[in-house]
Amino acid sequence: MTNIDISVIIPARNTGSYLKKCINSMINQTASNIEIIIVDDASDPPLKSLLYNEYKTYQNIIYLRNETPMRPGGARNRGIDIAHGRYITFCDSDDWIDLNYFEQVIKYMDTTMADIGMTSMMRNDDYSQNPFYKCYYDRLYTLTPSIALKILSGSYDMGIQIVPACINKVYRRKFISDTNSRFEQDIYFQGILYSVYTFLRAKKIICIPNTTYHHYLRINSITQSFDQKHIHDFVECFTRMKAYFDNLGKYEEYAFEYYRICEHYINVLVSELFEYIPNENDKKKYLIEIIQAIKNIVNFDDYYRYITAEQLRQHIQPHINNTFDILY
């Protein structure tokens, strides 16, 4: 294929009932020259018949199938390998985008020559009828990689948020190729790893206004669960992330950001444990494993070296207040 502006890669596994809404939001875009790559990650039944029946007249839809599951990261890597677009973006198979999404993305990426662009993201779920913005950009923001990493970690407040995911981001394909930006396909937490890896190597990152990625959180999705692999992959995630910094000689520069991101995911891990594990004995067992996992990846002497007194106060003050509330 030639003259493709943007390739969108959609990993899909047993999400046929949601996939149509996702694809329809792509084929009805105000921009043309779009390539849609569906990577069927061993769905049962395969998604090919659904795609053929619904979209056989669309020449810009490419179907790939993994006979054994490669997880979202592996599926995305397969899509990257065959993408023809000047830009590459990713979409989950149960999500959708505004109809002007690609038009806005292409316009701002072309005019700024950025390596990475980020759009607003709205969260929708099965629990409530009130979607909300996870991040919102009302104008164009141009960020250095350093500022983007600091906003991502929460160590710098610029009045905007950056979501640690790949799905509301667009990447220049040449940038992905030149930096060998690939997904870690065997573990959870791929989004934060890919964000850190690419942010560290980008020259310019932008926030794109006036369009939104809609993220749908299903009750029975893979993210709505907890098991021992989550703890194992938490350790593996931050071991690999530290290696990203070390390999570029940037750990000293971003050590505090590393620990802030780690702290956030510890909270995520514990929250998921208490939400999805009902048995008290199992909760206790997993909590002990999480504590041991923290010891394996956090050097507290190192951590205290990078945190200021004010930052430490902000971390512990809520816990002190809660303790006094209980005592009194």
Q: Minimal CA–CA distance to 170: which of 155, 181, 159?
A: 181
- Please check whether residues 198 and 240 belong to one and the same domain: no
* 194 shares its domain with 281: no
Q: Which domain holds residue 74?
A: 6-217
Enter the tokens of residue 284: 């206790």
Residue 222 counted as domain residue: no
In a domain, 319, yes or no: yes
* Closest-CA residue to 39 (of 7, 66, 14): 66
151: which residues sit within 8 A by CB, 6+ positions away? 143, 157, 158, 160, 161, 162
The model's pTM is: 0.90
Positive or negative, the CA dihedral 62, 65, 66, 69 is positive
Task: Answer with the one of 174, 195, 217 that is the final residue of a domain.
Answer: 217
Q: Which residues pair with 10 in a beta bridge?
A: 38
Instruction: Note whether 161 and 290 are same-domain residues.
Output: no
Residue 58 lies in a domain: yes
Residue keyed to tokens 């979501």:
163
Residues 131 and 270 in one domain: no
Instruction: Measure the CA dihedral 15/18/20/21, to 10°.
Output: -150
Q: What is the CATH number of the domain that holds 65?
A: 3.90.550.10
What's the Rg (C-alpha) of the chain?
21
Asked if residue 20 is part of any domain, the answer here is yes
Q: Is 89 part of a structural domain of the chain? A: yes
- Do 277 and 213 fall within a single domain? no
Tens digit of pLDDT at every position of the chain (328 positions): 568 999 999 999 988 888 999 999 999 999 999 999 999 999 999 999 999 899 989 999 999 999 999 999 999 999 999 999 999 999 999 999 999 999 999 999 999 999 999 999 999 987 767 899 999 999 999 999 999 999 999 989 999 999 999 999 999 999 999 999 999 988 889 999 999 999 999 999 999 999 999 999 876 555 567 889 999 999 999 999 999 999 999 999 999 899 999 989 998 898 888 988 999 999 999 999 999 998 888 887 877 777 777 766 766 665 555 444 433 3
Q: Which two tokens stand for residue 32?
A: 């043309």
- Is residue 112 domain-resident? yes
- Do 22 and 171 fall into the same domain? yes
pLDDT of 326: 36
Do 298 and 259 belong to one domain? yes
Residues 61, 149, single domain; the answer is yes
Domain ends where: 171, 193, 217? 217
Do 204 and 247 sit in the same domain of this protein? Answer: no
Q: Judge whether 223 lies within some domain.
A: no
Same domain? 177 vs 306? no
Which of the listed residues 168, 189, 217 is the one where a domain comes to its end?
A: 217
Q: What is the pLDDT of residue 128?
A: 67
Task: Specify the 3-state DSSP secondary structure of 37.
Answer: strand
On whether both 65 and 170 belong to a single domain, the answer is yes
How high is the pLDDT of residue 324?
40
Is the bond into 72 cis (omega within 30 degrees of 0)?
no
* 1 inside domain: no
The confidence score (pLDDT) of residue 309 equals: 76
Per the CB < 8 A criterion, the answer to whether 77 and 85 are in contact is no
Number of domains within the chain: 2
Tokens, residue 206: 């932008």
**Do 284 and 203 belong to one domain?**
no
- State the pLDDT at residue 74: 95
